[in-house]
A = this chain, B = another copy of it.
Amino acid sequence: MRDALPQGTYKVQALDRAFAVLDLLGESETPLGLAQVAASLQLHKSTAHRFLMVLERHRMVERTANGKFRLGLRLFDFGNRAIEQYDLRDRAQPHLRRLVTETEETAHLALLEAARVIYIDKIEPTRSVRMITRIGASNPVHCTSVGKAILAFLPPERAADIIRRIRFERMTSRTIATAEALRVELDKTRRRGYAVDDEELEEGLRCIAVPVLDAQRLPVAAVSVSGPSFRVTAQKLPAIANHLLQCVRGISVDMGYVPSGRAARTVVNA
């Protein structure tokens, strides 16, 4: 947030500050008082106060009984409007549920935005340990199965474009660290028809994903199944992949994407 802007970027100080406030409140587990907000953001009490009042007027923040601030429900409203267009989410949900009962592991639905993937839905099996991800949160493409699934099936130029923008942060010892390694991995992904994240984002977590293709056979999203490595073993991958392929095929049909079509289809067995 406080770091230098890329270059000739447009700036509106007030907006940057306001969003910094929202960010801060969003990160914080507990509501914050005016003084804490002002201190954390290096704003004057006076300034922070004015911002918070305006944000409150817009219901972007609200005050708890003891006068502290937290995010307001207006944001919830906006958030829902924002995904509305992607009604993908609603349509996909039943399929995800089925997928979860079949695999007994957590399923995610994710979109690509810039060089990150954004989780727009998550279904957890009843008995599982709760996963850490939060709907709406994002991760870098290069270390997630969903990211690789989408990237692998994007037109080469678009994929290259995105890869160029990746910063290749290292998340675990297995995280893919170079563009070249990523390209190799994407080739493998294309060949086998599904993407795998083998503890590349988080130790002990293995995920597998396939893209959801639209009528033009372009990936618009991806569905993944994630679980602890000891349960999601290498041998189980092909079986899970088949469930996944069935699932995304169902989603595509529901979205009105070519129910016929060939390509990225069923059956994996290597």
| Residues of chain A having any CB pair with chain B under 8 Å | 9-16, 18-19, 22, 26, 49-51, 53-55, 57-60, 62, 70-73, 75-85, 111, 113, 118, 120, 134-138
Q: A22-B78, A75-B78 are in contact. Are A15 and B83 (CB under 8 A)?
A: no
Indicate how many identical chains form the complex. Answer: 2
Asked whether, in the complex, the Cβ of A136 is within 8 Å of the Cβ of B85, the reply is no
Asked whether, in the complex, the Cβ of A83 is within 8 Å of the Cβ of B73, the reply is yes
Asked whether, in the complex, the Cβ of B136 is within 8 Å of the Cβ of A77, the reply is yes
Distance in angstroms between the alpha carbons of A77 and B84 in the assembled complex: 14
Asked whether, in the complex, the Cβ of A71 is within 8 Å of the Cβ of B77, the reply is no
Asked whether, in the complex, the Cβ of B118 is within 8 Å of the Cβ of A60, the reply is no
Given contacts A70-B85, A77-B79, 14 further A-B contacts (CB under 8 A): A10-B50, A10-B54, A10-B57, A12-B14, A12-B54, A13-B14, A15-B15, A70-B82, A71-B82, A73-B111, A73-B136, A76-B118, A78-B78, A80-B134
Nearest CB in chain B: distance from A18 CB, A: 5
Distance in angstroms between the alpha carbons of A71 and B55 in the assembled complex: 18
Distance in angstroms between the alpha carbons of A9 and B58 in the assembled complex: 12
Distance in angstroms between the alpha carbons of A183 and B75 in the assembled complex: 32
Q: Which residue from chain B places its CB closest to the CB of A138 in the assembled complex?
A: B77
Q: Which residue from chain B places its CB closest to the CB of A70 in the assembled complex?
A: B85
Q: Which residue from chain B places its CB closest to the CB of A14 in the assembled complex?
A: B14
Contact residue among B11, B15, B113 (Cβ-Cβ distance under 8 Å from A55): B15
Nearest CB in chain B: distance from A22 CB, A: 6
Q: Which residue from chain B places its CB closest to the CB of A83 in the assembled complex?
A: B76
Asked whether, in the complex, the Cβ of B77 is within 8 Å of the Cβ of A78, the reply is no
Asked whether, in the complex, the Cβ of B79 is within 8 Å of the Cβ of A76, the reply is yes
Q: A14-B14, A15-B15, A19-B60 are in contact. Are A137 and B77 (CB under 8 A)?
A: yes
Chain B residues whose C-beta falls within 8 Å of the C-beta of A62 in the assembled complex = 113
Distance in angstroms between the alpha carbons of A22 and B55 in the assembled complex: 14
Interface CB pairs A-B, < 8 A, 21? A9-B53, A10-B53, A10-B54, A11-B54, A13-B14, A16-B54, A16-B58, A19-B58, A26-B77, A26-B81, A26-B82, A59-B113, A71-B82, A73-B113, A75-B78, A76-B80, A77-B79, A78-B78, A79-B79, A80-B136, A81-B136
Q: Which residue from chain B places its CB closest to the CB of A71 in the assembled complex?
A: B82
Asked whether, in the complex, the Cβ of B12 is within 8 Å of the Cβ of A50, the reply is yes
Nearest CB in chain B: distance from A211 CB, A: 18
Nearest CB in chain B: distance from A252 CB, A: 20
Distance in angstroms between the alpha carbons of A111 and B14 in the assembled complex: 31
